């Protein structure tokens, strides 16, 4: 957990236990990530032919953000949000 002595002695027992549980959870998560990576590395090493990297990567959703909205789509979404928050329409 890499606590300095003065940090350790200021903690209550409950705080220390909570930190230890969180530290253990992070370590288990990291170990599982590394095992996942090792398993997939070996699985890919056995593939013939190796698929293109672009085919393996997951989409991050940025393409959808770049698309933009038409004025009608934007107005429709605004009306939905307005209804959700019980707003009133005002003509400008």
pLDDT in tens, 80-92: 998 888 888 888 7
Q: What is the mean pLDDT of the chain?
A: 89
**C-alpha to C-alpha distance for 17 and 67, rounded to whole angstroms:** 48
Taking only the tens place, the pLDDT of each residue in 66-79 is 677 889 989 898 88
Within 10 Å of residue 16's Cβ, how many Cβ atoms? 13
**DSSP letter assigned to residue 31:** H
Q: Report the largest interatomic distance among the alpha carbons of the chain, rounded to a whole angstrom.
A: 64
Identify which has the larger pLDDT, 54 or 92: 54
pTM, entire model: 0.54
- What pLDDT shows up at residue 66? 65
Averaged over 6-15, what is the pLDDT? 95
The answer to whether residues 29 and 7 touch, using CB atoms and an 8 Å cutoff, is: no
**C-alpha to C-alpha distance for 55 and 61, rounded to whole angstroms:** 15
Q: Which two tokens stand for residue 11?
A: 């903690």
End-to-end CA distance of the chain: 58
């Amino acid at each position: 957990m890499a606590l300095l002595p003065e940090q350790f002695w200021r903690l209550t027992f409950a705080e220390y236990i909570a930190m230890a549980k969180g530290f253990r959870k992070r370590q288990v998560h990291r170990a599982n990530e590394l095992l996942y990576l090792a398993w997939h590395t070996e699985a890919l090493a056995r593939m013939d032919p190796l698929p293109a990297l672009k085919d393996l990567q997951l989409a991050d959703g940025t393409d959808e953000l770049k698309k933009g909205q038409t004025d009608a789509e934007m107005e429709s979404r605004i009306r939905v949000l307005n209804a959700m928050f019980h707003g009133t329409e005002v003509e400008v």
